[in-house]
Each structure stands twice: as structure tokens, then as C-alpha cells.
Amino acid sequence: MLKLVFSSSCRGHCLNTVAPRLRVKSDSNSLFDVVGRLTGLTRRSPTNSLSRAFFCSDSNDGSGSGSGSQPVVEVEVKGVESDSDGSDSKASSAIVPTYPRPEDYLTVLALPLPHRPLFPGFYMPIYVKDPKLLAALQESRKRQAPYAGAFLLKDEPGTESSPSSETEKSVYDIKGKELFNRLHEVGTLAQISSIQGDQVVLIGHRRLRITEMVSEDPLTVKVDHLKEKPYDKDDDVIKATSFEVISTLRDVLKTSSLWRDHVQTYSQHIGDFNFPRLADFGAAISGANKLQCQQVLEELDVHKRLQLTLELVKKEMEISKIQESIAKAIEEKISGEQRRYLLNEQLKAIKKELGLETDDKTALSAKFRERLEPNREKCPPHVLQVIEEELTKLQLLEASSSEFNVTRNYLDWLTVLPWGNYSDENFDVIQAQTILDEDHYGLADVKERILEFIAVGKLRGTSQGKIICLSGPPGVGKTSIGRSIARALNRKFFRFSVGGLSDVAEIKGHRRTYIGAMPGKMVQCLKNVGTENPLVLIDEIDKLGRGHAGDPASALLELLDPEQNANFLDHYLDVPIDLSKVLFVCTANVVDNIPNPLLDRMEVIAIAGYITDEKMHIARDYLEKTAREACGVKPEQVEVTDAALLGLIENYCREAGVRNLQKHIEKIYRKIALRLVREGSSNESVMVQPADAKAEVVDESDHHAAANKADVEVETSVQVDTVQTNDQPKDPKDAADSKELQETEATKAVEKVVVDTSNLADFVGKPVFHAERIYDQTPVGVVMGLAWTAMGGSTLYIETTQVEQGEGKGALHLTGQLGDVMKESAQIAHTLARAILLEKEPANPYFVNSKLHLHVPAGATPKDGPSAGCTMITSMLSLAMKKPVRKDLAMTGEVTLTGKILPIGGVKEKTIAAKRSEVRTIIFPAANRRDYDELAPNVTEGLNVHFVDDYSQIFSLALEYDVNTMVN
């Protein structure tokens, strides 16, 4: 039994491929059987007397319901015999009768095909919109004459092929003779397989040629049945052409999955094929246009038809190759980017699902706009313009590009800054004074300057930023003063240290072209504090570095210049920022290390340090309280006497600041905490033993109870109340009360720790400093001078003695690790002393004949500075005149060769050092009178200060006195 299955072409307007619905088994080698079977077409066995042809539709059940569904027509054919003209059986019987035979139909209804011709053996669905034509088709099918002629419609002259819908519309409008003239002469006799509504499914049988028109509505024509011209089945040329067609079909099968179903289906039944049908099959499933297909349909010469089909399938093969090469090139071009895009999209989806990121560009823009909205009205117009431009740019960039991340970070910084947002300032002078006094003792100059700033702001209604520089030794509270000022002004506080800073980008920011670029410290400050008028503390400004990345001191000029910082330009933001409302407070240990152009923009407030009285108040009111709370010690458990604090300040913490004093106080309280814990633990263990002892006594026999009870009371007389409370309680509440009472008694049992001068060394060790005053009575040739150091002021002695005496041996030898300035001062002092001695005692040749040795004690400490000249002269004259200097006198000042006294620095520090050494009389240069007058009364109290402008005044004060009054 043979099965003949015909499939439609998907490229024409035919039915979908029916191979997946076939009830036959696929054979992978069937394509190669084509050649062998084609060679044996003429030697088929005539014993096959019965065969069936299945014309398969797209419907599995054959119900024909729905659009595009057709029933299955099953035909039994007896005596099938294939001949050269392709004729079918002589007699047949079927479910749908085929009598009369197809070749008997010489007059048929003409059906126009707008898109492609119908080849014999193929399905084709068409739509019939003409009611009369549709009725005629139904009527002929009822009369068991289900045949019609299907003819391809010609294009209108002078027009190109129109789209499908327009062509069909024109077909419906054409009728009668006009339609007859538009039809190709050669068409196909088509069996009407099914009619569903206006859809008619046709099955091609054989070729027809129109001879004349019979009727116009519906169009009926007379036709002649065409047969292929006779050909020789054994012709080598025809065989070779057919083999080439099959070979090409096999190559197309490898490249195009679209053809695979067609070729596999027909190759399984190649026994039913002959050369003409092979040509029709190749042309029908090719992608050729309708005119080329019509040319194959009209060709009756088998060899020429095979050649035409070969051209079509060859062209199809070339198209497939071109398509494959184009697809490969495009795929190679976009595969990398596409893969990256897909992976990024998957990553975004995963992050979104996990809630890690809302990655959408629209969401980013919405976030930036929402962040900017509260300050939009206050934001400067030029900044708003930049933000809008960057938001537009962000929408045009790909999320995977590096420029996208740069723009996103830039917008993040631009929108997070507090444009036009200011904190409400405190203009209440009384409240500010209270806050400053709470945090710091003394420092009248600093507090007065801050109160002036508040007063000016109150009168103007607005505050303008200033630049204040607090200079002084370490530990005097410069940084904490800045924090207190911010609290007094109700401003946000931001601190950054520039000690050792050598990169300009830390101040001005990096340019956005660099990887990892960030704004400078000021932009970061505004982001952190959230206002445009914070207090910015620039710490250690005297320790700025200078490296390969530029000079930060020069970069600070724009930041700290009141005339320039209203338009401060950060390299990263690249938009002007108004810093004119910022209050800058700088701190420095030594003002001399600050570059002059930078120092010129600051208002310097010197904090010289604290005298002993101020340190006592600070230790008692601030440091002791903080240390006690940090160590968990209660006030009633400890007492530090004033004498102990005074000894701590004078013998351990003599520097100008109070940081070292704070460390020593914390050390005292830590040792007190350890002692309290030890004593408390020992008392608890002692308190438990009497309770056990008493319990044992109670359990003794009656005749010994009274005596033992008395012994226990004697042994535990201190803990009587505790023992009695620890008797067996009657309920849990009594037990809890007894426990609390135990703790209270244990606390009472620990004695209060008293820290006094007698036991101070037990807490902080041996004294570090001894009295700076080495001599109670200064000997001949020794004078006390005053010096300034970075740690504050100090007193030092200058000693001169005679080494050798002889005629013309006058010379001077110096020791004490003196600097160049002090060495020159010693030479000047030696020369001037000789002149003064010659004037006062002309007959005294001491300096001419004496070799002198001048020494400044503490030789391990370098010493230099222009303030020891008058002290050295006095020391030399004292030795030459053999008269000691007054014991309570200290002096400072530089002298010229003519005896003039030059001004010095560090007046407050030197005054404090003099008071610490119990000096009552001080000699200062006259030019320093204004500096002394600015000192607080508690600093100058008890001092007798002389201001001199010539050394003769010093000579009279230091050496010309009554020796009898010196004892007093």
C-alpha cells in the first residue's frame, strides 16, 4: 500500500506544513533513496493493484470546524499505473466519488489566485467574497462535481505588486470579462476539498489552459487539459538534472529548517514521484515569486521544467548561504554586547528582586529631583541649570557605560548639598556667655571676641563668616574652644586636621576625569552638616606639608579669604559655592610656621597657657569631675585636697596646657577605683564569717549557748548589725531587704580615700619637676632670665665665672647648647659690659685680664632667641663688680651695642613662669608695656614690673641697691 501526501508551501498562501501530523515513520536515509528510486521508476511492480491517497488537511479530526481546517478526503484507487503522461487510475471508488473523471471536465468555474499559482498535488486555501461564485461552488459540490479552475491573476499594467490586502480587495471587485482578461491562460484543475464560510480549500490535480469564456457571473470558462510532452525516462540529461535538483534540496535541508519537513515528507514517498512531479515539488516549495512559479507551471517540456526548477532551488540555496553568512556576521558583531546587556539585565532583575537596588534610570532621576525639591527655590540658578543638564545627559547614557557612573556620582553630590539652607543662629549674648563659661575657665580674650561676633550679627541681622586663628601651646584647649563656640552660636560643627597634608585635591577636590575623583573637604563638610553656615575647625594649620601634589597652604588662600570664598570653586563640582557665611576657626601651636599670605587673612588670638590658679580651677571644676565619672567613683568615696592638686600642678604638670594634668588626675582616680574594689571585696568576705559563726553557736547545746554567744558578740562587734540582719528571714521580701542592707553596710565599711600631699606620690609616682629656682640667694655672676618655649614660659639661670686671669688674657667661652642668635647676644653683652665697667669703675681692668666662661644650665636643651642680652650683661657685670643680683629679680630683653633695650615676645608666658618661680620683680622692655597691660589681673597680681628702654636703668635696678635691704 502506498501513501501519497502533498504539503503546501509556507512561503505562498498555502496551508501550514502537515508533516508533523503524518501517521508515517521518518527515515533519516530516505533522502538518499531518492536517487535509487528515481532510476527504477519504469520498473515498478504492477502487482500493486490497490493504493490509497491521503489528502491531509490541518485538522486532525476532519470535522472542518474553524478557520483553516479542512476534512480528510480518502480515495481508494484501483489499478494505479504510472505512465509518462502522469495519468491516474482508470476506475476508482471513494467516500467522495470521483466520477465523472477529472479529465472529463471541459467547462469549469474560474477562481482567481492573487498570490501564487496552485501546483498539482498541493493544498491551497482561498477566500471567495463573491456570493454568486460561492453559491455556484457549493452547488457544484452538491452535484458531486467538486472541481474548478484555479488561475493566477495578472498584475495591472504599469504597477508593481501590491500588498496582500489591496490585491485581494481588487480581486473581489473584478468580475466578468475584465476578470477573464486578467487571468493567466494556464492554470490548475482543483478539487474543492471543503467550504467553510467564505474559505474554500483547493487540491491541485492537473494543468489546464483557458480556451474561451462561457459566462461572466460567475465567470465560467472552457478549458483544455494539458499533458507533459513525451520524454525519455532513461535520458541521462534528465536524470542528471533531477539528481542535481535532489542534491540541492539536500543541501538546503542542511541550512534551512523551513524546508526540512517538506523534503522529509516527500522523500519518504519518492516512489510516487516522477520527473515532472519532482519539478513541480521543487518549484512549489521554493521562495520564487509568482511569475517564476507560473513559468514553471506553464512549461510542458519536462527537461526545461526541471531546469527552471533547478534554477529556483539553486537560487534558494544561494539565498540560504547569504542569509547564513549575514546572520553569522551580525551575530558575531552583537553577541558580545548582547551577552553583556543580557547579563546586566539579569543582574538588575536579581538586585531588584532582592531589594538591593532600584536600578532604573527613571528612578535615579526621580530620586535626585526629590532630593533637590526642598531647596529648589533657594538653589542658585546656575546650579539648577547644571543639574538639569546632567539629568538630561543621564537619560541618554547607557547604564553600563563608565560615563553613566561619573554622571550619577556627580548628580549625587550636586543634589545632596544644602543649597541655601542655614541653621538658626543664636544672637543672645547672655546665653552665649553662659555656654562659654560652662565649657571653659578663663580665656577672656577668646570669649570676648566671640561675643563681639554675636553682637555684630544681631545688629546687622545676619552673620558674616570670619577667620579666627587660635594659637598657643598644646593642651590649652584650642580644639575644644572651637566646639564650644559652635554650641554657643548654635551652628553645626565640623573639624578636619590639615597636619601633614600635602595634596591640594584634599582641599580643592579632584577633577571628574580621574578615576575615583572626589570633592574636597569643604564640600564633604557641607554634605555632612547639612547647612551652609557651619563652624569649620581647621586643626594644626601650622603643620601643613608641601609635596609633589602641590602646595595646600596656597590652596587655602581662596578658602580663607573673605573676599574670595563667596565664590569658592571646587574642582569636582565645578560650580561656585558660597562659603562667606562659614565661620572658620584655625588652630596652631606656632604662628611663625604659617605662611605670611595665609596668616594675613586670619585674626590671631593667642592663648598663652594657664597659671597655677587657673589650673586649679580647671582641675577642680572640669577635669576631676570628668575623670571621676569615667572611673565610676562616687563623690562621697574620695577627696582630693587642694594641696594635692597644687603639688600635682607644680611638681608634675608644669607645662602651659592641662592635657598632662588631665592624664595625672585620671591616673589618680584609676588607682582609687582599684583600692575601693579591693577593700569592698575584703569587707564582704569578712562580713560573711560572723554570720556562719553565729549560726553554729545557735546550734550548740543549751548549757554552752550563753557563753559562746557572748564570745561571738565580742569578736564581731563591728558587724553586729549585719549579723543580726542575716538571721533566717521569714519570707523572700525580708531576704531582699537583708541583701540590700548588706550592700549598704559594705559601702559604709569602705573608708573614704583622701589624696593629700603626703600620699600623692603613691598615686602618681615621684615628682617629675623640682623647683625652677635653684638658688634661694643668687650668687655673684648668676642672673635669672625669662624664656619662651612651645610648651609655655620658663625661667632659666645664666651663670658666668672666671676661668683664668692674667695680663691681656681677656676672652669669653660659651656653653649650654646655644644657638647662633644667643652666641651673638653673648658677644654683644661682653663688649657692652666692658664699656659699662669702664664707665662705672675706670680703674677696674677685669674684662681685659680675665677669661670668662658663660653657661646656661640644662645643656641638653637647645636654646636660642633674641631676649637674653640684658641678662648676660648683668651676669658679667655682677661677676666683675663682685656684687650679687637681687634674689627676687628676673629680666628679659635684647640689648644693642649702644645699650638700647629691644622688645621681646611671649610676655604672658614669661610672666606666668616668673610667678611660678616666686619672682616678685620683673624687668621688661618699655615697648612691651601694652602687652603687659592686656594681661588679666590674676596674672599680674603681686608683681612689681619695671619697663626700661636703656640698660642703665637695669643696672640701677639689679646692682645699685642697698645690700642691707637685700635680706628683706
Which residues are catalytic, by number? 867, 910
Q: Residue type for 98, please? A: T
Q: Quick check: 872 and 831 in contact, CB under 8 A?
A: no
Separation of alpha carbons 399 and 950, rounded Å: 81
Residue 85's CB: how many other CB atoms inside 10 A?
Answer: 12
205: helix, coil or strand? strand
- Per DSSP, the three-state class of 509 is coil
Contact between 811 and 930 (Cβ < 8 Å): no
Q: Is 71 annotated as a binding residue?
A: no
With vertex at residue 285, the alpha carbon angle to CA 107 and CA 5, rounded to the nearest 5 degrees, is 70
- Say if residues 591 and 471 touch (Cβ distance below 8 Å): yes
Q: Are 945 and 939 in contact (CB under 8 A)?
A: no
∠916-920-926 over CA atoms, to 5°? 105
CA nearest to 278, candidates 234, 310, 253, 231: 310
C-alpha cell at 603: 585674626
3-state helix, strand, coil in the chain (%, to 5): 50, 15, 35
Please compute, for residue 917, the number of CA atoms within 13 A of its CA located in the half-sphere on the CB side. Answer: 28
State the first-to-last Cα distance of the chain, in angstroms, to the nearest integer: 153
Amino acid letter, residue 488? A
Q: Is 476 annotated as a binding residue?
A: yes
Q: Is 343 exposed, middle or buried, given 0-12, 13-18 or 19+ CB atoms closer than 10 A? A: exposed
- Is 810 annotated to bind ligand? no
Burial label for 694, CB within 10 Å (0-12, 13-18, 19+), is: buried
Contacts of residue 815, Cβ cutoff 8 Å, sequence gap at least 6: 853, 854, 855, 856, 859
Across 13-30, b (16+ Cβ under 10 Å) vs e yields bbbebbbeebeeeeeeeb
Contact indicator for 599, 406 with CB cutoff of 8 Å: no
- Is residue 919 exposed (0-12), middle (13-18) or buried (19+ Cβ within 10 Å)? buried
Containing H/E element for 123? strand 123-127
Separation in Å, CA 16 to CA 195, 202, 273, 312, 956: 18, 14, 22, 21, 131
Is residue 478 a known part of a binding site?
yes
* 3-state SS assignment for residue 325: helix
Residue 520, annotated as binding a ligand: no
Count of alpha carbons within 13 Å of 465, Cβ hemisphere only?
26
What DSSP element (H or E) covers 279? helix 275-285
Q: Is 816 annotated as a binding residue?
A: no
CA distance readout (Å), 216 to 220, 507, 640, 717 = 7, 96, 132, 144
Check if the beta carbon of residue 229 is closer than 8 Å to that of residue 305.
Answer: no
> Is beta strand 107-113 parallel, antiparallel or unpaired with respect to 220-225?
antiparallel
Distance CA 244, CA 314 (A): 9
Query: Which amino acid, residue 18?
Result: V
User: Any known ligand binding at 97?
Assistant: no
Give the whole-angstrom CA distance, residue 632 versus residue 627: 9
479 is annotated as contributing to ligand binding? yes
Q: Which residues lie below 8 Å from residue 493, measured CB to CB, with a gap of 6+?
A: 482, 483, 486, 487, 529, 534, 535, 537
Q: Please give the annotated binding residues for ATP, written as ranges.
A: 472-479
- Annotated binding-site residues read 472-479
